[in-house]
Structure 1
Amino acid sequence: MNMRATRSTVTFSNRFTLRGYPGDLPAGAYEVLVEEERLLGLSFEAYRRTGTYLSVDAKAAGPGQSALWVTTENDLNEALRRDADRSAADTHSDAALSPQEDRR
């Protein structure tokens, strides 16, 4: 069985939750590891995702250490969507309007 792994980075602007993870995670950049297996017997090269992991600081493991937290592509995308929605809502605050803009 042929396997491959790819790494990427996602950035959260706000504290966020991830299904199955106990508690909130702080804003910041997180490394994502995706494992895939090659599908054999096809006339073209294709892969199937077998695992998605988010690298999270492991406070219990000691300073400077991290752990890979199992997640899914859908759960990670949902957390990123909620973060983007929250960031967009924060940029549309009435407090940011000048008095001239407020009169419109």
Structure 2
Amino acid sequence: MLVFISILFMMYFGMYAYMNSKKHLLMMLLSLEFISLTLLLMISYLLLTFVFDNILIIYFIVIMVCEAVMGLVLLTIIIRTHGSDYIKSSILFKC
């Protein structure tokens, strides 16, 4: 039970970091990765507790890797076109 509460605390901390990092796109992506890692911990804890099939963990890891790669590609494109990863200096949300 203590492990589950600590995982929920980590999830809350990741969401708090995501909400307060609106200047840099890289910090937002790192916060999203932290949230997905805590979700992976939660899923693996629940699967180990109830002894279900562990193939869901592998599916979730594949989805996490795809999310990370897409985020890095978008970050690279934005830095090459706009010169920095500041959200307010780019024209991302004006479209």
Q: TM-score range by the shorter chain?
A: 0.3 to 0.5
What TM-score, normalized to structure 1? Answer: 0.32
| Structure (1/2) with the larger helix percentage | 2
